[in-house]
Amino acid sequence: MPPIEMPKGLPFSVDTWTPSSNRKKHHFLTHAHKDHSQGISTHASFPIYATSITKALTLNYYPHLNESLFVDIEIGQSIAVDDSLEGFTVTAFDANHCPGAVMFLFEGAFGNILHTGDCRLTPECLQRLPEKYVGKISREPKCRLDYVFLDCTFGTFSSKMPSKHVAIRQVIDCIWNHPDARVVYLTCDLLGQEEILVSVCQTFGSKIFIDKENNPECFQSLSLTVPDIISHDPSSRFHLFDGYPRLSERAEAKLAEARANLQPDPLIIRPSAQWFVYEDVSSEAYKRKTDRFKEARKDQFGIWHVCYSMHSSRDELEWALRLLAPRWVVSTTPECRAMELGYVKRHCSYGNLAPNDPLWKLLDIDLKAPFVNDEEASCSASPFLMSRLEPSGEGFSEKEISTVSSEAKESSVTLFGRARLGLDNSTLIYENIDKPVISYMDEEDVEVQGRCADGDGPEGRQQESKLKEREEIVKNSSIACSRKEVGENIRKLYRSMYVPAPKPLPSLVDLLNNRKRTKRRLLS
Ligand SMILES: [Zn+2]
């Protein structure tokens, strides 16, 4: 899943390479993992700020990219970015993720924004941020971050993961514990796992064999990052082993081959959090045991797993947010996951925002702009919304969409839609629209879902009783889709907006009435 676009009100993009991000004036690349440079070969434009390691690795992956597109920024460095509209300062901080990976801190008239890229946000990592932004448990920071774009990859994984340092120690111990293994296969082919190879190399005084023919990209990356650990000699005890695909099959084949030759079993170690988060088939009770991370664990295929994570666990994210106390948090990837964090549930609500809050400007929302009036509101849909509501496969045909209405007013574009997609007029593509249909919500409605998030309460039950009303509105629309589809699509919409879908979903009538109430309150 590619990272999210920056809100339209910001003059820069981070890790996104699309027509929309290309329209931004400044571009930032946090690190060289390919899911963060997807599209860069077609939508790159000057300047791209990145560390020199990230630049070198990226040019390695995309050799036709011109080096002159890049501007170097190194860890700890601040750059004053000149912008004809409003200048800003950007500073790079170590993201504790992979070589060259940084978090960017943006400070300007738009506010103070931390974009973590991918990160393992440990306390040490936090301490490197400017002191004024890092509070204590009982004290808020002197200066609050307005926005944190946060890597929530393992944001639902609540177990306490070992630090990278401890995990590397476990890899070393596992090798010590298997002195008979003549060959040790290390599945460390991902950018960010070099530290393990370096440590093995230093501890055992032996370089690592990397098959250049079969793994040229990894070979080139390691040649750039840790050239001293590479061996061209296949008789080396340590071999780099591909993590994908079909690791278990290949591991079993290696074991079978050794046994057929009356050799001792080779040792196959996979240092990754993936197995612990997604694949570990242990019982739920075992999963809760803290000692499951104490040492390497062997699976049924003979692979030894060590929990080496380049992303933060849920605990680490919660801890970081407590200290940073940002006003708003958005998950960079996966979408929406920030809303599952306790800090976000407690502290990030649109109800907290005053009409003159600079956050509105950041999101490029003009509260003074006219709202769609009530009659229109009941039947006007934003193109953004429609595109989000479009079911995959069957559902809306092109013809049906062309009859979907909207006057495509700025005000009908949802707040999160803008923030999420950086929409502008050029994306308002549904022309020749003459037949009004549905309107679901705009910025104020987001507050509604916030209150309704605990669907078991009386509000939730009331909404359930109004589901029929919603169904009526949908039925009256020109879109022929079932109640189930609409419900599912609204849920998707909520998720796309980084907010939890209320259970049950509120009725449209409630949403619209609430919007009116909130609007009056905000503008009074
Ligand atoms: Zn990454």
Beta pairing partners, 103: 93
Q: Interhelix angle for 467-476 vs 483-496, to 10°?
A: 100
Phi, psi of 148 (to 5 degrees): -120, 120
**11 Cα–ligand 1 center, Å:** 24
Tens-digit pLDDT profile for residues 89-124: 999 999 999 999 999 999 998 999 999 999 999 999
Q: In angstroms, what is the span from residue 54 Cα to ligand 1's centroid?
A: 11
Q: Taking a C-beta distance cutoff of 8 angstroms, is the pair 266, 178 a contact? A: no
CA separation for the pair 269, 169 (Å, rounded): 13
Q: Comparing C-alpha atoms, which of 225, 227, 229, 187 is closest to residue 204?
A: 229
Which DSSP string do the residues of 236-259 spell out, in sequence order? SSEEE----S-HHHHHHHHHHHHH
Three-state DSSP state, 222 = helix
Ligand 1 centroid vs 191 CA: distance in angstroms?
A: 8
Decide which of 31 and 349 is more confident. 31
Residue 265: C-alpha distances to residues 183, 213, 254, 305 (Å):
8, 25, 8, 16
Pair of tokens at residue 335: 């979408």
State the distance from the centre of ligand 1 to the C-alpha of 61, rounded, in angstroms. 15
Taking the centre of ligand 1 as the mean of its atom positions, its distance from the CA of residue 278, in whole angstroms, is 18
The rounded distance, in Å, linking the Cα atoms of 17 and 330 is 19
The predicted-structure confidence for 13-27, as pLDDT tens digits, reads as follows: 999 999 999 999 999
Distance CA 224, CA 511 (A): 55
**Ligand 1 center from residue 307 Cα (angstroms):** 16
Q: CA 71 → CA 25, 32, 96, 102, 211, distances in Å?
A: 13, 15, 21, 14, 33
For residue 34, the CA-to-ligand 1 centroid distance in Å is: 8
- pTM attached to this predicted model: 0.72
Q: Which residue has the tokens 């080396």?
A: 236
Does the pLDDT at position 201 exceed 80?
yes
pLDDT reported for residue 437: 29
Residue 89 and residue 79 in contact, taking contact as beta carbons nearer than 8 Å: yes
List Cα–Cα distances, 172 to 199, 202, 296, 299, 300, in angstroms.
8, 10, 10, 18, 21
The CA 203 to ligand 1 mean position distance, Å, reads: 27
Distance from Cα 219 to the centre of ligand 1, integer Å: 18
- Please tell me the distance between residue 192's alpha carbon and the centre of ligand 1 in angstroms: 8
How confident is the model at residue 287, as a pLDDT? 65
> Measuring CA to CA, how many Å separate 483 from each of 401, 403, 410, 414, 472?
18, 20, 28, 22, 10
**Dihedral in degrees, nearest 10, Cα atoms 499, 501, 505, 510:** -10
Q: Give me 337's structure tokens.
A: 């996951």
Tokens of 129: 């941020």
Report CA-CA distances (Å) from 81 to 73, 84, 221: 12, 10, 30
pLDDT of 410 higher than 50: no
> What interhelical angle do 216-225 and 194-204 show, nearest 10?
70
DSSP letter for 443, please. T
Question: Taking residues 167-192, what's their average pLDDT?
Answer: 97
Length reported for the chain? 524
Q: Which amino acid is located at 216 in the chain?
A: P
SS3 253: helix
pLDDT at 2: 75
Higher pLDDT, 350 or 468: 350
pLDDT band at 352 (very low <50, low <70, confident <90, very high): confident
- Reported as a single tens digit per residue, the pLDDT across 459-501 is 333 344 333 433 333 333 333 334 455 455 555 554 544 444 4
Residue-by-residue DSSP string for 109-177: TTEEEEE--S----HHHHHTS-GGG--BTTB--SS--SEEEEE-TBTT--S-PPPHHHHHHHHHHHHHT
pLDDT for 521: 58
- Are 176 and 237 in contact by the 8 Å Cβ rule? The answer is no
Note whether 329 and 321 are within 8 A (CB).
yes
The secondary structure of residue 451, as a DSSP letter, is H
Nearest to 238, CA basis, from 183, 189, 169: 183
The answer, yes or no, to whether the previous bond of 47 is cis (omega within 30 of 0) is yes
Residues 421, 23: Cα–Cα separation, whole Å: 12
- Which class for 511: exposed (0-12), middle (13-18), buried (19 or more C-beta within 10 A)? buried
Single out the residue of 513, 391, 388, 521 nearest to residue 463, CA to CA.
513
Ligand 1 centroid–CA 31 distance in Å is 7
**First vs last Cα of the chain: how many Å apart?**
41
Q: Categorize the per-residue pLDDT at 334 as very low, low, confident or very high, splitting at 50, 70 and 90.
A: confident
Residue 379: phi and psi, rounded to 5, are -150, 25
Enclosing H/E stretch for 368: none
CA dihedral 115, 120, 122, 125 (to 10 degrees): -50
The DSSP call for residue 5 is P
- On average, the pLDDT of the chain sits at 76
Closest Cα partner for 98 from 65, 56, 43, 69?
56
The alpha carbon of 97 and the centre of ligand 1 are apart by a number of angstroms equal to 7
Ligand 1 centroid–CA 33 distance in Å is: 5
